[in-house]
Structures are given as structure tokens and as C-alpha cells.
Amino acid sequence: MTFIEKFEEIKKKIGTPDLSKLTESFAVQVNMTDADCGGAFYIAYIGGNLAIEPYDYHDHTAMIYAKSKDLIDALTGKMDMLAAVMSGKIEVYGNIDHVTALATLHKPRAKRAAAAKKPAEKKPAAKKASAKKAAEQSA
């Protein structure tokens, strides 16, 4: 897979995020370290707008190095971003708060409501009871 293909996959997974949780501007340069799809892109939140573009960002507030799988897992909530940093799966240089803010971008999928179960139809108890009494009386 090429860098651009992997970048587009990551951008698609982020989708249209909920920006209401973001409180300050940031620009995080992401360096993917995979042998087959390594490269740099940035995620910037400036002036209430989010930009995800496949370029270096020289005035970044943080820079991270990670394999694409670890990055996707952290961005989508499959792996805790801070735990990934602490374990060394993601290396951070700069403001770690800006990196952990990236984990708030992904909206978890809404759980499907359990299909409404129809209550089981109850057979009239009167018929069973009357049949049972009739069997007892004839015996």
C-alpha cells in the first residue's frame, strides 16, 4: 500500500469529527514509519477548522512517529492514545496534550438498538386448565 492510499484510509476513518471537545488550536505532524507506506502528513485544528493534509507542517505544536496500524488504532479508540505513547508504540515530540486531543476526533459508532422483541404470545390458560380438568373427571 502506498503512502497516499494509507493517508486516505486514515483520513476516511477520522471522517467528519465532532470538534466541540477541542478547546485550543494545534498542528500535529504525523510521521508514519511503515516500510511500505512511510511518509508525513498533518492534522491541524486552527480557528475552528480541521485540516488533514498529506504534507509536512513546519510550525507544528507536536510531532509523532508511529506505524500506521498503531496510529489507526489510537485514532479510532481501539487503543488508548496515552497508553500507546507510554508503551512506545507512538513517539511524541512536543505538546502531548495536542496528541491526545487527536483521540477525541473519532466518533464512536452508535450502538444499534436491540431489535424490539415482541412479547411471546400467551396461549389462553383457560383452555389448558379446562382440558386438564376434563381429563381428570373422565378418569
CA distance linking residue 74 with residue 78, whole number of Å: 6
The DSSP call for residue 96 is H
Q: What's the one-letter identity of residue 26?
A: F
Tracing cell 479508540 back to the chain, one arrives at 77
Q: What backbone phi and psi angles, to 5 degrees, belong to 7?
A: -60, -45
Give the cell for residue 41.
Answer: 502528513
pTM recorded for the entire structure: 0.71
End-to-end CA gap in the chain: 81
Give the cell for residue 60.
Answer: 507544528
- Tell me the pLDDT of the chain (139 aa) as tens digits: 888 999 999 899 888 888 888 889 999 999 999 888 889 999 999 988 999 999 988 899 999 999 999 999 998 889 998 899 999 999 999 999 999 888 888 766 555 554 445 555 555 555 555 655 555 665 5
Give the cell for residue 128.
Answer: 389448558
